């Protein structure tokens, strides 16, 4: 495919719509005013009334349509191509889910609707909680948290309430260096203290390191499994047992759950609480700050402290809202991001148990296929030639000083969105790729071919890579300056 998708494109340089404005030009035809014209200052507070008309652009209809259509081509979306972002799991969103979320009974329901008039949404939430509990091996689930990090914080708050009930004033949390970056922030927001735990040279957590770090003031261990190196913690059950023996709890970051669906349940190997990223694992849109949803699942000991209210089914089959007295309270207005719940529910009902197992099988197969294709051209420091759902390579062996950033920019010239770069921090020059389960063999092969092409260009023409991208509307930016001194208005 001339190499790669989108390598040759027609790019539009589009000015601000105000720059297209011509006095007297318009794209609307309005009827004559058929009522007496009122004085705005007699209807509103005079200080709120404009002294001059709003400076709106005066343009024709074709100019409006073309302006916004051209702007839309500047944005890369999952319907244009795949996102190989490791850790983020940016995969294709089935359109069936979007249809379900737009059903009038869901989309038009006011969040303050009385429960007797909201039986459908309450039933969906109640069933979704039980689906997630079954998938994870947890006793109970709360749907309130509105993002993954929000779920982490909520789970820690629930843990703190449970430890207080025990009369146990622990305040420290063990966090491996392969955990997700939001974990330490969640600990700090919960008023606890982070204790780092180093992983081994294999990129895994050593049970004896956990044992030596356990103390009477350690409240919990937070870990991501599979971890951010794309590896399954093979000693996870033993590690959880060590924490429990020391009186602590285990939080499992569920952001990488799509690697183990139907194959392993966190509750079965000892996790006490976890968050689900519905906007990652269960294929609902995310990015750009939202929308998201981060429900949490907990074991029986922690269940009484889950956020309230929660949907319950009465003996007569109807649904109501429960406000248990031990709940930590409400962590989100109303019940969370309901539209995301509808999408996740639709996804689960469509796939069923066999489909969820196939999700994890394909996620792992695709990542290992990508690893197989590129491992002779990129250094992969961990995994011994195998991984779970994502591949973490690095720029260690790149010729002529080509960096991970150069590789990322070179991918843009070849029509691909770059993967996650420089994370996880335990890998210098990390290039973190997750093809996800939704991508075809052909897409993975084309992406791998682009990576190999870049590695070969690094040896033959490094200067071109240092200046990539060169086929885009705007060439390489000074990202450090842009972050420190952003230009927030037109000159």
pLDDT (tens digit per residue) in 141-171: 999 999 899 999 999 999 999 999 999 989 9
| Cβ 281 vs Cβ 254: under 8 Å | yes
pLDDT of residue 237: 98
Is residue 108 domain-shared with residue 196, that is, in the same domain?
Answer: yes
Is residue 136 domain-shared with residue 260, that is, in the same domain?
Answer: yes
SS (H, E, C) the chain: CCCCCCCCCCCCCCCCHHHHCCCCCCCCCCCCCCCCCCCHHHHCCHHHCCCCCCCCCCCCHHHHHHHHHHHHCCCCCCCCCCCCECCCCCCCCCHHHHHHHCCHHHHCCCCCCCHHHCHHHHHHHHHHHHHHHHHHCCCEEECCCCCHHHHHHHHHHHHHHHHHHHCCCCCEEEEECCCCCHHHHHHHHCCCEEEEECCCCCCCCCHHHHHHHCCCCEEEEEEECCCCCCCCCCCHHHHHHHHHHCCCEEEEEECCHHHCCCCCCHHHHCCCEEEECCCCCCCCCCCCCCCCCCCEEECCCCHHHCCCCEEEECCCCCEEEECCCCCCCCCCCCCCCHHHHHHHHHHHHHHHHHHHHHHHHHHHHHHHHHHHHHCCCCECCCCCCCCCCCEEEECCCCHHHCCHHHHHHHHHHCCCCCCEECCCCCCCCEEEECCCCCCCHHHHHHHHHHHHHHHHHHHHCHHHHHCCCCCCCCCCCCHHHHHHCCCCCCC
Does 432 reside within a domain? yes
pLDDT (tens digit per residue) in 404-414: 999 999 999 99
388 pLDDT above the threshold of 90: yes
Mean per-residue pLDDT, 61-90:
88
Does 37 reside within a domain? no
Q: How many independent structural domains does the chain possess?
A: 2
Does 194 reside within a domain? yes
pLDDT (tens digit per residue) in 208-233: 999 999 999 999 999 999 999 999 99
Q: What's the predicted TM-score (pTM) here?
A: 0.90
Is residue 135 domain-shared with residue 205, that is, in the same domain?
Answer: yes
pLDDT of residue 411: 96
**Looking at residue 360, which CATH number applies to its domain?**
3.90.1150.10
Does 455 reside within a domain? yes
Is residue 368 domain-shared with residue 437, that is, in the same domain?
Answer: yes
pLDDT of residue 181: 82
4 pLDDT above the threshold of 80: no
Is residue 397 domain-shared with residue 467, that is, in the same domain?
Answer: yes
pLDDT of residue 80: 83
Is residue 193 domain-shared with residue 281, that is, in the same domain?
Answer: yes
1 pLDDT above the threshold of 50: no
Q: Which residue has the higher pLDDT, 172 or 474?
A: 172
Is residue 202 domain-shared with residue 124, that is, in the same domain?
Answer: yes
Is residue 404 domain-shared with residue 439, that is, in the same domain?
Answer: yes
Does 101 reside within a domain? yes
pLDDT (tens digit per residue) in 239-274: 999 999 999 999 999 999 999 999 999 999 999 999
pLDDT of residue 9: 56
pLDDT of residue 336: 87
**Looking at residue 226, which CATH number applies to its domain?**
3.40.640.10
Using CA atoms, how far apart are residues 123 and 349, in angstroms rounded to an integer?
A: 14
Q: Average pLDDT of the chain? A: 93
User: How far from 56 is each of 60, 63, 102, CA to CA, in Å?
Assistant: 13, 14, 32
Does 120 reside within a domain? yes
Is residue 188 domain-shared with residue 252, that is, in the same domain?
Answer: yes
Does 59 reside within a domain? no
- Domain final residue pick, 303, 323, 350: 350
Is residue 299 domain-shared with residue 376, that is, in the same domain?
Answer: no
pLDDT of residue 393: 98
pLDDT (tens digit per residue) in 117-133: 999 999 999 999 999 99
- Domain final residue pick, 328, 350, 372: 350
Does 86 reside within a domain? no
> Confidence band (pLDDT; 50, 70, 90) for 5?
low
pLDDT of residue 6: 54
pLDDT (tens digit per residue) in 167-197: 998 999 999 998 888 999 999 999 999 999 9
Is residue 377 domain-shared with residue 437, that is, in the same domain?
Answer: yes
- Domain final residue pick, 312, 333, 350: 350
The two tokens of residue 16 are 């601000």
| Cβ 195 vs Cβ 218: under 8 Å | yes
Q: Which domain holds residue 385?
A: 354-472
Is residue 205 domain-shared with residue 218, that is, in the same domain?
Answer: yes
């Amino acid at each position: 495919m001339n190499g790669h998708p989108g390598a040759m494109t027609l790019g539009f340089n589009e000015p601000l719509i105000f720059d297209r404005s011509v006095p007297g030009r318009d794209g609307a035809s309005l009827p004559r005013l058929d009522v007496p014209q009122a004085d705005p200052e007699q209807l509103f507070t005079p200080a709120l009334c404009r002294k001059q008309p709003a400076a709106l652009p005066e343009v024709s209809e074709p100019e409006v349509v073309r302006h916004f259509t051209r702007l839309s081509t500047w944005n890369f979306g999952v319907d244009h191509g795949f996102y190989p972002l490791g850790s983020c799991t940016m995969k294709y969103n089935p359109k069936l889910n979007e249809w379900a979320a737009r059903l009038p009974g869901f989309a038009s329901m006011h969040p303050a609707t009385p429960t007797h008039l909201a039986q459908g949404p309450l039933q969906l939430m109640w069933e979704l909680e039980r689906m997630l509990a079954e998938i994870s091996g947890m006793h109970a689930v709360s749907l309130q948290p509105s993002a993954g990090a929000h779920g982490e914080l909520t789970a820690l708050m629930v843990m703190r309430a449970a430890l207080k009930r025990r009369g146990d004033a622990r305040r420290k949390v063990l966090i491996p260096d392969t955990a997700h970056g939001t974990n330490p922030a969640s600990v700090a927001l919960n008023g606890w203290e982070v204790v780092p735990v180093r992983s081994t040279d294999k990129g895994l957590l050593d049970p004896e390191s956990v044992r030596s770090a356990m103390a009477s003031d350690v409240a919990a261990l937070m870990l991501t499994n599979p971890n951010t190196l794309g590896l399954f913690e093979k000693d996870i059950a033993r590690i959880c047992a060590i924490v429990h023996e020391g009186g602590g709890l285990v939080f499992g970051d569920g952001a990488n759950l799509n690697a183990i669906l139907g194959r392993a349940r966190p509750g079965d190997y000892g996790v006490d609480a976890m968050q689900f990223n519905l906007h990652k694992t269960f294929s609902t849109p995310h990015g750009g700050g939202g929308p998201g949803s981060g429900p949490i699942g907990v074991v029986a000991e922690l269940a009484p402290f889950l956020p309230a209210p929660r949907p319950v089914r009465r003996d007569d089959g109807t649904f109501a809202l429960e406000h248990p007295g031990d709940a930590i309270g409400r962590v989100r207005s109303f019940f969370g991001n309901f539209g995301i719940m509808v999408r996740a529910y639709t996804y689960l009902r469509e796939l069923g148990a066999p489909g969820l197992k196939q999700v994890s099988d394909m996620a792992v197969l695709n990542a290992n296929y990508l690893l197989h294709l590129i491992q002779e051209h990129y250094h992969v420091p961990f995994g011994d030639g195998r991984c779970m759902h994502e591949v973490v390579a690095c720029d260690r062996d790149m010729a002529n000083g080509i960096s991970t950033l150069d590789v990322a920019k070179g991918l843009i010239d070849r029509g691909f969105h770059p993967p996650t770069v420089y994370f996880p921090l335990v890998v210098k020059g990390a290039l973190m790729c997750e093809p996800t389960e939704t991508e075809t063999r052909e897409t993975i092969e084309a992406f791998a071919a682009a990576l190999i092409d870049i590695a070969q260009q690094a040896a033959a023409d490094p200067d071109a890579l240092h200046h990539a991208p060169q086929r885009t509307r705007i060439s390489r930016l000074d990202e450090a300056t842009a972050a420190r001194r952003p230009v927030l208005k037109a000159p």
